[in-house]
Amino acid sequence: MANSGGFGPEGSLGSLGSLGSLGSLGSLGSLGSLGSLGSLGSLGSLGSLGSASANPPLLVQALITNRDGIAGSFEPVAPGDVDAGSQESTAYLERLSAGVRSSIFALELGSRVGFKFDGGDANVYHLQTEYGTSETKYQLLMEMKRPTQEIFADQLTMIANYADLRADRAGEIISQLATPLEFLRSIAFVDPARTPFTVELLGMSLWLANYVEMRVKYALGCKRPVEWSPQIQPMIWTPTHGSLPSGHATEAFCMAQVLWRLLQDTGTEPYSGGLWGEMMMRQAARIAINRTVAGVHFPVDSAAGAVLGLNLGEYFVKRSMQIAPDKGWKFDGTLFKDASGSAEGLDFDWRQYYDFASTPPGLKAGVAWVTEAGFQNSAPDAPSLPLGWLWTKAKAEW
Amino acid sequence: MVFTWHEFGSGDIVLNPEADFRLNTLSRAISVDLKTDADDIWWLIVVQPAIDPKTNENYTLLDIWEFARHLGLGDDPGDFLLIPPEYSQDFRKVAAPETVTFYARRNYLNRVNRYVLDPRANQTGIAWFEVGPAFRPDDIVIQSDPFIIAQPTEFEVPEGSVVMAVIDNGIAVGHELFRGLDAAAGTSRVAFFWNMDGVPSDDLPPSPHVEPATVGNVWTGNGLTQQLGGNMHNGVLDDAAFYQSIGAIDWSKRRHTPIAHRLSHGTHVMGLAAGFPSDGTDPADAEKRPIIAVNLRTSDVQDPSGSLFATWLEQALFFILDRHKRISIKGRKGVRPPLVINFSFGNYAGPHDGTGAIEKKIGGALSKASHDKIKCEFVLPAGNGNESRCHARIEIDSGHTREKSLDWRVQPSDRSLSALQIWLDEKGAVADDYVTLTVDGPGGIEPVEVPSHHPVAWQELLNEEGERLGLVYFLGANVGPFKRGHFGVLLYATDSPEDVGPFAPSGLWKMHLEAPEKSGDVGARAWVIRDETLPGYPVFGRQSYFDDPLYAEFFEPGLPINPLDRPLIGGRLGYDPLATSALVRRAGTLSGFASGDRTVVISGFVNTDPREDCPIALYSASGPTNNPAKTGPDASAQSNDSIVMPGVLSAGSASGSFVAMPGTSVSAPQVARWIADELAMGKAAGPAEVRAAAGAMDPPGGSTKPPDTRSGGGRMLELPILFGQSRWPGSSR
């Protein structure tokens, strides 16, 4: 997914650098998110588990000669001497490295998400299933339709005008090429040493967002502003993947929703107060808008990304809290217009479809282009015990 | 490219050559920018009405309107002339004040410009006019009838209140510093806000929340309070949503929005003039400082010459004085609180003798307030052009060579007008051969001479196709409001990304001023017009400047410097070296708006420890002027927190944020605030009182006290530091 030389779209690729040591996990892109924390020194240590640097030749040589020196003749071990470990036990998760766990969580999430492109609709599904039974059903989690060409054309002037803020926001824009975690951690006291499981939880929510958004982007194939006009001239690399939905908006809103809901679930004062959520959503919106400032996204991309991200965030929370998902959403880009039928003056405004007052706070159907999708909830739905374990561990950190 | 000069004959003369250049040459670029045919553009003009010989008073606005019917441009003046609907019917009927505003198209303006200096002068009703910003027809409300305000909002304020009016650009009125405190925490203290950048919308609420305006929109305090309330979420203001709701941010319509930036000039200035933080302020104090804010159009402010934004001053003051009438002291109906107006803008051009259009307008407004028994003071910055190399002093003495030369470097890649003015010291009309300006352009352009011919002489620079690229003129004394004659050189842009060519040649333009022996001692002051790109604003122009090899910008050993400058090798000098032979001078760089008798003018100093050492900021512009009643700033206030920390802290654009900004723009409002405090106590606080107070805070005799031309009565060392004392940790200052 990299454009070149380590420029990572949507932040996830940053991960490939820092956690590349974990080998196969790097390819998942999920822990890319955590890459940004490399600077904090937290996960740097994980690298030692899989990399050559953790097994320096001198030490390897020493362990060989050392064993020769002290082990003596090999004593046989009887089968009864060792207890068989528990199977499918969350207690075992704690003994695994974060990198290994991320593979487990990735399967828990990814194996229950389906996708189909159907007549202009990019449909993301949640697979309802009780494993081992025949009762399975794909429930519509997100239906996304791309805007018309007229809408994209209408929005170009706004992108050109937003360029006004490029110099003012350059520091933020460059920093936000990495994951949103750096910016969320400045709101809530997230720190790899202090809240390692919260970091892991947010990393997995980022994985989910990235996993879904890339498939949707691919399906909808929306052109970037730079493909519309030679005068947009973005200040950063334009990622090679499609414009809508904005990956930054998806990831930032997804993580903001997860973190906010986690803090609320703890009930710990003051973290569960409304101002914390307000700041997190504002942060997500600022990250999204900065991508328009940079010249790589239309405002409508941010709108679509925010809806997808909030939706996936809440979905992730439910999966983690072992509550059966029960709601899906539609984003119809063709309706992203004002009363006059134009999208020229229609900026990204997340408050139109976010309700702080609802329980839980989250998406609402406030505008024509954001509506609820039919979610039948007709089949039994097995909870994910590993995700539940991670939520509980993260919650206990607050 | 071959260039030729073309001299205008007496039959072609115009009243205002600069206006002619703007309407008929710069309009080439303006038309492209506005995507509007030049003949369809409406121009804001400030007008000095002619005197009606029948009444011996100025013509009325309706007289001027009637004159327009008979200029051969059509029966309906509405096709080319608009009386601002802000002017009431009563106002239109009576003798007009010294300066009024119209909107007009260029067919009318060209006609007026040609008529005024010939026998047809009495057919226009206009004695002088200056041309300001240009508009597409859709940018202004074109209606012949005056605005009717359905429910004029009136405010009652507590005893001891003083209204602070701020004319600026980029005013984030929603900042918490401009709200009430405690019980009034959700209430805007901005009683009236004319946002000339405001995007018109049918969705805006009606009166009493919004009032009509020809340009932008006008919000009342009620309207702002309502919108603040609607955009508070979880206890904090959603700034972007609030400004979108009042039409102040709209990325689909505006290319540059200062209040969306971290730092905005007007927010910062207004914070210093009238901002009250929620911690440490008595809510009653905040309640006693209602605000009237006028946000000038950003597109006009980004041209720092002042020829656009300053034209608005008449309308801005009309608005302020009009709305001020609706604010009265509680329980004393009709008794209006004192008024302080801060205008943190400057320019380089103008006569610098108090007769500039801006100075006259400010003087007129102060006279009107005085006539209406309102205590009113007007505060201006000294300007930041001390080191700009945009000012020169020319003296041709008997017994010496009778010619002085000055090199003017016009920059390539300059998208804006480059211009200079040379004002004669001599008052009144002079002989045709009193002095002659010869302009010698770069790249083989033939030199051209313009004599001091009254009332006007000019030569225009043409390319092979006859398109005009430049103009050299002389405008005699007493033409228009000026007491002195002046030469002007105007050059079209040297570059543009748009198709607006052909361009004027950049490079070294040589000015030779020559006077015969019979003229005796001839003195003149030259100013380059400001045209740089302002920090944080889109690319505008590149500042041309006088290139004088004798000008010492930095200290070097052996250079006899002013004792107040520091002898650091390579260090910048804030004063002209002693006995300099350079024509380019720091002395005399004072803002072209700041030579009027009645305004309070403030320069800036740099805070130090010990404080007695505080030097005047290098950029802070300097007197003298050609007005003996205003020879420089009246006082100075802090404009840099230290040598290494430029600026002082005040409000950033986002509510709750604070940022640093330097310049005399920030020293002026601190004194405006002090003046308001004095007026609140019933004391006088005009220029003389400010001088006296500064003198008391900075007693004479000290070796570090700056001269009168830099700091007037002295440095106001005892003004409080309003925000961010942490910039001087451990200090009580």
B423-476 pLDDT, tens digit per residue, is 999 999 999 999 999 999 998 899 999 999 999 999 999 999 999 999 999 999
Select from A158, A351, A356 the Cβ nearest to the Cβ of B252. Answer: A158
**Of B733 and B195, more confident:** B195
Binary contact (A165, B260; C-beta < 8 A)? yes
3-state DSSP of B131-149: EEEEECHHHCCCCCCCCCC
Amino acid at B526: A
* Burial B246-274, CB ≥16 within 10 A → b, else e: bbbbbbbbbebbbbbbebbbbbbbbbbbb
Q: Are strands B418-427 and B217-220 parallel, antiparallel or unpaired?
A: unpaired
**pLDDT for A45:** 37
A162–chain B nearest CA distance, Å: 6
Ranges of beta strands (E only) in A44-160 are 113-118, 121-129, 136-145
A160–chain B nearest CA distance, Å: 8
What is the C-alpha separation between B141 and B86, in angstroms, rounded? 11
Q: Are strands B376-381 and B545-546 parallel, antiparallel or unpaired?
A: unpaired
- For the segment B180-217, what is each residue's pLDDT rounded down to a tens digit? 998 888 899 999 999 999 988 778 888 889 999 999 99
Q: Residues B586-596: what's their mean pLDDT?
A: 96
- Own/partner pairs, B151-154, CB within 8 angstroms, 24+ separation: B151/B207, B151/B208, B152/B207, B152/B208, B152/B211, B152/B326, B153/B191, B153/B192, B153/B207, B153/B208, B153/B220, B153/B221, B153/B222, B153/B326, B154/B326, B154/B327, B154/B328
- For the segment B312-336, what is each residue's pLDDT rounded down to a tens digit? 999 999 999 999 999 999 999 889 9
**pLDDT for A52:** 52
What is the C-alpha separation between B601 and B623, in angstroms, rounded? 11
**Backbone dihedral angles phi then psi of residue B90, each to the nearest 5 degrees:** -60, -40
Best B35, B204, B252 residue to mutate vs chain A (most A CBs within 10 Å): B252
Q: Residues B373-393: what's their mean pLDDT?
A: 96
Tokens of B668: 């002026």
What spatial distance separates the first Cα and last Cα of chain B, rounded to whole Å?
A: 61
* pLDDT of B400 over the 80 cut: no
Calculated CA dihedral for residues B491, B496, B502, B506, nearest 10 degrees:
50
For residue A339, the chain B residue with the least C-alpha distance is B203
- For the segment A249-297, what is each residue's pLDDT rounded down to a tens digit? 999 999 999 999 999 999 988 988 899 999 999 999 999 999 999 999 9
Three-state DSSP state, A385: helix
What is the C-alpha separation between B267 and B723, in angstroms, rounded? 14
* pLDDT of A134 over the 90 cut: no
Q: Residues A6-23: what's their mean pLDDT?
A: 35
Helix, strand, coil in percent for chain B, rounding step 5: 25, 25, 50
**pLDDT for A355:** 96
For residue A274, the chain B residue with the least C-alpha distance is B234
Binary contact (B241, A278; C-beta < 8 A)? no
**pLDDT for A25:** 35
**pLDDT for A72:** 93
Binary contact (B252, A277; C-beta < 8 A)? no
Q: Is B535 on the interface with A (CB under 8 A)?
A: no
What is the C-alpha separation between B610 and A49, in angstroms, rounded? 59
pLDDT band at B730 (very low <50, low <70, confident <90, very high): low
Amino acid at A324: A
Q: Are strands B376-381 and B339-343 parallel, antiparallel or unpaired?
A: parallel
Please report, for residues B347, B611, B696, the alpha-carbon distance to residue B605 in angstroms, rounded to integers and kept in the order given. Answer: 20, 10, 16
Q: How far is CA B498 from the centre of its chain?
A: 28
What is the C-alpha separation between B733 and B719, in angstroms, rounded? 9
Binary contact (A158, B233; C-beta < 8 A)? no
Select from A168, A275, A347 the Cβ nearest to the Cβ of B236. Answer: A275
Say if residues B532 and B387 touch (Cβ distance below 8 Å).
no
What is the C-alpha separation between B294 and B217, in angstroms, rounded? 10
Q: Is B559 on the interface with A (CB under 8 A)?
A: no
Say if residues B417 and B556 touch (Cβ distance below 8 Å).
no
* Cβ-based contacts under 8 A for chains A and B: 49
- For the segment B511-537, what is each residue's pLDDT rounded down to a tens digit? 999 999 999 999 999 999 998 888 888
**pLDDT for B457:** 93
What percentage of chain B carries pLDDT values higher than 70?
99
Identify the contact set of chain A against chain B, taking CB-CB distances under 8 A.
157-158, 160-162, 164-165, 167-168, 273-275, 277-278, 282, 344-347, 349, 351, 356
- All residues at 6 or more sequence positions from B548 whose CB lies less than 8 Å from its CB, including other chains: B389, B392, B406, B407, B582, B583, B584
What is the C-alpha separation between A287 and A302, in angstroms, rounded? 9
* pLDDT of A14 over the 70 cut: no
Best A152, A159, A164, A337 residue to mutate vs chain B (most B CBs within 10 Å): A164
Calculate Rg over the CA atoms of chain B: 25
Chain A hits for B251, CB-CB cut-off 8 Å, are 158, 161-162, 347
What is the C-alpha separation between B464 and A168, in angstroms, rounded? 44
B251–chain A nearest CA distance, Å: 5
Three-state DSSP state, B178: helix
Tokens of B216: 């932008």
Binary contact (A161, B255; C-beta < 8 A)? yes
B300–chain A nearest CA distance, Å: 16
Instruction: Specify burial of residue B277 (Cβ count, 10 A radius: 0-12, 13-18, 19+).
Output: middle
Q: How far is CA A40 from the centre of its chain?
A: 20
A167–chain B nearest CA distance, Å: 8
Tokens of B335: 């008794």
What is the C-alpha separation between B401 and B403, in angstroms, rounded? 6
Amino acid at B89: Q
**pLDDT for A67:** 95
What is the C-alpha separation between B29 and A161, in angstroms, rounded? 20
Say if residues B605 and B711 touch (Cβ distance below 8 Å).
yes
DSSP annotation string for B240-298: HHHHHHTTS--TTT-S--GGGSS--HHHHHHHHHH---SSS--HHHHHT--EEEEE--H
Binary contact (A157, B238; C-beta < 8 A)? no
Binary contact (B538, A356; C-beta < 8 A)? no
Q: Is B244 on the interface with A (CB under 8 A)?
A: yes
Say if residues B694 and B711 touch (Cβ distance below 8 Å).
yes
The sign of the torsion formed by the CA atoms of B355, B356, B362, B364 equals positive
Say if residues B547 and B508 touch (Cβ distance below 8 Å).
yes
Chain A hits for B256, CB-CB cut-off 8 Å, are 164
- For the segment B532-556, what is each residue's pLDDT rounded down to a tens digit? 888 888 888 999 999 999 999 999 9
Binary contact (B251, A158; C-beta < 8 A)? yes
**pLDDT for A4:** 36
- All residues at 6 or more sequence positions from B410 whose CB lies less than 8 Å from its CB, including other chains: B418, B491, B494, B504, B505, B506, B507, B508, B509, B544
Select from B244, B250, B255 the Cβ nearest to the Cβ of A164. Answer: B255
Q: What is the DSSP letter of B79?
A: G
A269–chain B nearest CA distance, Å: 16
Binary contact (B236, A274; C-beta < 8 A)? no
What percentage of chain B carries pLDDT values higher than 90?
85
Q: Partners of B437 in the beta sheet?
A: B450, B513
Q: How far is CA B293 from the centre of its chain?
A: 16
* pLDDT of A17 over the 50 cut: no
For residue A157, the chain B residue with the least C-alpha distance is B252
Q: Is B35 on the interface with A (CB under 8 A)?
A: no
**Of B423, B381, B373, which Cα lies nearest the Cα of B620?**
B381
Q: Residues B606-634: what's their mean pLDDT?
A: 94
- For the segment A187-238, what is each residue's pLDDT rounded down to a tens digit? 999 999 999 999 999 999 999 999 999 999 999 999 999 999 999 999 999 9
What is the C-alpha separation between B413 and B503, in angstroms, rounded? 10
Binary contact (A347, B244; C-beta < 8 A)? yes
Binary contact (A164, B253; C-beta < 8 A)? no
Helical H segments across B71-124, by residue range: 89-93, 106-115
A145–chain B nearest CA distance, Å: 24
Calculate Rg over the CA atoms of chain A: 23
What is the C-alpha separation between B457 and A195, in angstroms, rounded? 79
Chain B hits for A162, CB-CB cut-off 8 Å, are 251
**Number of C-beta neighbours around residue B293 at 10 A:** 26
Three-state DSSP state, B216: coil
Three-state DSSP state, A69: helix
Binary contact (B260, A164; C-beta < 8 A)? yes
* pLDDT of B292 over the 60 cut: yes
Three-state DSSP state, B352: coil
Three-state DSSP state, B485: strand
**pLDDT for A216:** 98
Binary contact (A162, B262; C-beta < 8 A)? no
- All residues at 6 or more sequence positions from B672 whose CB lies less than 8 Å from its CB, including other chains: B164, B272, B273, B340, B341, B342, B377, B379, B600
